[in-house]
Amino acid sequence: MLKSNYIITLLSGIGLFNSCTANFINFSDLGVEYAVVERKNSAYGSYLAGRVAHIRQDYDNAAYYYEKSISQGFSNSDIIGKTYIILASQGKIKEATKYANMARQNGDNNNFIDVINAIYEFKEGNYKFARSLLSKISEKTYENLITPMFNAWSYVGDGDYQKAIDSLSTLSTEEDMQTVYHLHAGLIAEYFNYPEIAKKHYDIIINNRSEDISFRALQLITNYMVRNNRKEEALNLVNKYYGASNIKEMLASLSEKIKESDSTTQLIVNTPNIGAGEVFLEIALLFKSIPVGYDYAQMYMAISEYFNPNNDVVKIAMADLFEDRFLLKDANKYYDTIKKESELYYPSQIKKANNLMAQEKYEEAALVLRKLLKNNPKNFQVLFNLGDVLRISDNQKDAIKYYTRAIDSIFYENEKYWPVYYALAVSYDKSDDWKNAEENLNKALRLSNRHPQVLNYLGYSWLKNNSDLDRAVSFILEAYEKDPNDSVIMDSLGWVYFKTGDYENAIVYLEKASELNPRNAIISDHLGDAYWLGGRKNEAVFLWNQALLQKEDGDEISHKKIRSKIKNGIKKIEVISLKDEKVRDTLKQIKSITQ
């Protein structure tokens, strides 16, 4: 809800992590057990185990071993600094204050020590003291953004509505902060039971066409509407965003929850702590939206969760942050904490299944999706994802079944549904049913407005089978024109030159494809063929051997044929000829560019 350019301006000079977190986001799986590193429970061994865990981004064990090292007498400012930062990033604020204050006594002037103490005192209800701690920080991010919002909710804790609004009003003068200001002003008005004032603030957000409303804001505003006998307005507001949204599952679940609610529904932000949680969620999502902000995002999300452990938006945002860092197990731990009655349950389980797929845990991923289907057997996304799991794990028969069910759940054909037809075609092709594969590829081609991947799949398939060669090459050329940096399309173009006997240009494009994707078995096999017939036989054998070891598209090559080529080479191939003059001219034009 906040704009990136504004926060980038505020970021200048912020001293959150300093040198104590120089390795906070480095990742390396060292393949060493902590117990081995610890060296018989020694203090230095505990420190080394903590460092290994830290580099692995295993923050639970990093904190454990750092604390153990300090307790055993091995400590310095660096270890203590790392410890309080890691603990705070896990939302263990009480524990973090112990080491933060220890660091301050040792001369650490990091402003985040005051932040940690302010957060702890706020949670304990010591609002005035919390404000005094945060007031020590003179950085722009705090003065112009965090402190006014934090202080506003601390005055809520003191029961002083006017001071809360006065503190928040600092944000009202900034154009980029209008939505945040009105949301929190509305929440504070609701807390003090001023529904008409809350309505004015929320209406400004709803009627601001230049800003999209976040899902969390929709939750909060529709909660207000339901409690004030405006259920139909709440449903209409959600439906307004449903058509063009990529979070349909969440919005559909929110609509269902609204339908089941009435005026006795509980106010969501009903304590100062929950209000403070909303402040730090707002800040966390903002930092997450910019490349340099991921460490800050994790920290503020953890603080938000500390104030309100029941906010599922925080959980799914934290999981998303772990996914971006490829910490998929940690992401799934968060998804597993979201309960079935939550609006975020379905999307969180779908994302969990995707993470399991990425870890090649296909049976577990399929189990998650099948459980979702029991309560919603016509859910398009679940059916589609289950089809993907089965296709990737080479269960084409069942993949076809679920893709077909996904298509049957569609009310009308739309361009956004082309991927399911494409995926279904791939499963038919892998099942040696080219007729159905081609039929669905043509549907995908039409719906996708001739997407380059669909063009390439059709073109390469025809080329591979020596069928409809002119159209095959024209499709590949069109795909290349639309996406000239795609490795698979580049491979197809190189294969066109190879099939037409132009080995020099075949090598040029197949080498480019290999540079873009050096782990693909088909590309390595093709480049090996081009090298052989181009007179570079040693390199050809090397590439063929490499293809035998590669997993990506490894099931698409014939290991038997490749071993035969390694032993005997290539004696002869059938060169194709193209009849379409326009296609031949286009190939020549592309060829001339490379020369």
How far CA 327 is from CA of 56, 268, 358, 392, 473, in Å, comes to 10, 31, 11, 22, 42
Looking at residue 23, its pLDDT comes to 38
Task: Report the distance separating Cα 353 and Cα 385, nearest Å.
Answer: 8
Q: How many residues does the chain have?
A: 595
Q: Which fold has domain 129-309?
A: 1.25.40
Task: Report the distance separating Cα 241 and Cα 206, nearest Å.
Answer: 11
Confidence at residue 393, expressed as pLDDT on a 0 to 100 scale? 93
Instruction: Quote the DSSP letter at residue 360.
Output: T
Q: How many other C-beta atoms are found inside a 10 Å radius of the C-beta of residue 535?
A: 9
Four-way CATH pick for 360-449: 1.10.490.10, 3.40.190.10, 3.40.309.10, 1.25.40.10: 1.25.40.10
Identify the three-state secondary structure at position 337.
coil
Judge whether 47 and 66 are in contact, CB under 8 Å: yes
pLDDT in tens, 508-561: 999 999 999 999 999 999 999 999 999 999 999 999 999 999 989 988 899 999
Look at the alpha carbons of 84, 88, 92, 97 in this order and tell me if their dihedral is positive or negative. positive
Using alpha carbons, select from 551, 557, 553 the residue that is nearest to residue 529. Answer: 557
Q: Report how far residue 570's alpha carbon sits from residue 574's, in angstroms, rounded to the nearest whole number.
A: 11
Establish whether domains 17-110 and 129-309 are of one fold.
Answer: yes
pLDDT at 434: 96
Give the separation between CA 15 and CA 11, rounded to whole angstroms.
9
Alpha carbon distance 241, 453 (integer Å):
30
List the chain domain ranges: 17-110, 129-309, 360-449, 451-594
Tokens encoding 223:
């909660």
Scan for tokens 């491979």, then name that residue: 491
Place of tokens 């007498």: 73
Distance CA 313, CA 304 (A): 10
What the block records as the tokens of 202 is 């929320």
CB–CB of 267/258 below 8 Å?
no
Task: List the chain residues with pLDDT less than 70.
Answer: 1-41, 209-211, 243-246, 291-292, 591-595
**DSSP H helical segments within 24-160, as ranges?**
34-38, 43-55, 59-71, 77-89, 93-105, 112-123, 127-134, 140-141, 147-158
Q: Which residues pair with 520 in a beta bridge?
A: 552
pLDDT at position 400 is 97
pTM of the model: 0.80
Tally of CB atoms within 10 A around 368: 24
User: Within 13 Å of residue 32, how many CA atoms lie on the same side as its CB?
Assistant: 17
Q: Please name the CATH architecture into which domain 451-594 falls.
A: Alpha Horseshoe (1.25)
Spatial contact of 431 and 453, defined as CB atoms under 8 Å apart: no
List the one residue out of 266, 556, 506, 518 whose CA is nearest residue 394: 556
Which residue do the tokens 């293809």 mark?
A: 547
Report residue 13 as tokens. Answer: 């000079």
Rounded-to-integer distance, Cα 493 and Cα 499, Å: 10
Distance from C-alpha of 85 to C-alpha of 22, rounded to nearest angstrom: 11
Q: Which of 355, 353, 343, 412 is nearest to 383 (CA)?
A: 353
* Partners of 444 in the β-ladder: none
3.40.50, 1.25.40, 1.10.860, 1.10.8: CATH of 17-110: 1.25.40
CA angle 436, 442, 445 (to 5 degrees): 140
DSSP one-letter string for 486-503? -HHHHHHHHHHHHHTT-H
Q: How many CA atoms lie within 13 A of 327 on its CB side?
A: 22
Structure confidence at residue 131 (pLDDT): 96
pLDDT of residue 16: 44
